[in-house]
Structure 1
Amino acid sequence: MEQSKNPTSIKTVLSIAGFDNIAGAGLQADIKTISAIGCYATTIITSLPVQNTTGVKAVFPIPDVAIEEQLNCVFDDVYPDAIKIGMIANSKQVDIISRILENYKGPIVVDPVMLSSSGHQLQDEETIAECIRKLYPLATLVTPNLDEAAALTGMSVKNLQDMELAIDILLTKGLHAVLLKGGHLPDDTLSSLLKTNTSDSIAFKTQRIDTRNTRGTGCTLSAAIASYLALGQSLTTAVKGGIEFVHQSIVAAKDFQIGKGNGPLNHFFNPIPLK
Structure 2
Amino acid sequence: MSPSSRPRPPEPPVRPARIARTGGAPARVLTVAGSDSGGGAGIQADLKTMLALGAHGMSVITAVTAQNSLGVQGAWELPADAVRAQFRSVVDDIGVQAVKTGMLATAGLVETVGALLAEVTVPVVVDPVGVSKHGDALLATDALDAVRTKLLPTATVATPNLDEVAQLTGVRVESEDDLRRAAGAVLALGPRWALIKGGHLAGDAVDLLTDGAEEHWLRAPRYDNRHTHGTGCTLASAVATFLAGGYDVPRAVTAAKSYVTGAIAEGFPLGGGIGPVDHGWL
TM-score normalised by L of structure 2: 0.90
Corresponding position of 1:190:
205
Separation (CA, whole Å) in 2 of partners of 1:7 and 1:184: 41
Amino acid at match of 1:192: D
Pick from 201, 223, 227 the counterpart of residue 213 of structure 1. 227
Distance 1:182 1:75, change over 3 A: same
Distance in 1, Cα, partners of 2:52 & 2:191: 29
2:41 and 2:207 map into 1 onto residues whose CA distance is 20
Q: Select the residue among 263, 269, 273 that pairs with 2:281.
A: 269
- Listed as ranges, the gaps of 5+ residues in structure 1 are 1-5, 271-275
- Displacement after TM superposition at 1:19 (Å): 0.5
Q: CA deviation at 1:127?
A: 1.0
Amino acid at match of 1:101: L
Deviation at 1:64, TM superposition (A): 1.6
1:4-23 alignment, distance < 5 Å:
8-23=24-39
Alpha-carbon distance between aligned partners in 2 of 1:30 and 1:173, rounded to the nearest angstrom:
25
CA offsets 1:60-85 (integer angstroms, 9 cap, x no match) = 11112101111111112211100110
Residue identity matched to 1:91: A
Paired residue secondary structure (2:47): helix
- CA distance in 2 between counterparts of 1:39 and 1:73 reads 19
Residue of structure 2 in register with 1:260 after alignment: 272
Instruction: Give CA deviations for 1:83-129 in whole Å, capped at 9, x if unaligned.
Output: 11000011111121111221201100011100111111111232111
CA contact (8 A) 2:123 2:156 kept: yes
Q: Does 1:245 align with 2:254?
A: no
What is aligned with 2:96? 80
2-structure distance, mates of 1:161, 1:269: 33
**2:7 matched to which residue of 1?**
none
Please tell me whether the aligned partners of residues 193 and 201 of structure 1 are also in contact (alpha carbons under 8 angstroms): yes
1:175 CA drift (Å): 2.2
Paired amino acid for 1:190? A
Kept in 1: contact 2:84–2:113 (CA 8 A): yes
1:174 has 2:190 as partner: yes
Q: Secondary structure at the match of 1:261?
A: coil
Relative to structure 1, is the Cα distance of residues 8 and 184 closer, same or farther in structure 2, using a 3 angstrom cutoff?
Answer: same
Taking the aligned partners of 1:54 and 1:215, their CA distance within structure 2 comes to 10
Cα distance in structure 1, aligned partners of 2:184 and 2:176: 13
8 A contact 1:212–1:261 mirrored in 2: no
Q: C-alpha separation between the residues in 1 aligned to 2:215 and 2:141?
A: 28
The unaligned stretches of length 5 or more in structure 2 are 1-21
Shift of 1:242: 0.5
- Secondary structure (helix, strand or coil) at the match of 1:46 reads strand
Alpha-carbon distance between aligned partners in 1 of 2:137 and 2:264, rounded to the nearest angstrom: 25
Deviations 1:199-224 (A, max 9, x none): 23211000001111101000000000
Structure 1 letter corresponding to 2:235 = L
Deviation at 1:48, TM superposition (A): 0.9
SS in 2 for 1:19: strand
Pairwise mapping of residues 60-79 of structure 1 onto structure 2 (< 5 A)? 60-79=76-95
How much does 1:139 deviate?
A: 0.6
CA distance in 2, matches of 1:135, 1:64: 15
CA contact (8 A) 1:37 1:227 kept: yes
Find the aligned partners of 1:89 and 1:21 in 2 and give their Cα distance.
Answer: 16
1:150 aligned partner, one-letter code:
A
Question: How many residues are paired up?
Answer: 261
Structure 2 CA distance, aligned partners of 1:173 and 1:33?
28
Q: What RMSD in Å do the two structures reach over aligned CA positions?
A: 1.3
TM-score by length of 1: 0.92
* 2:217 corresponds to: 203
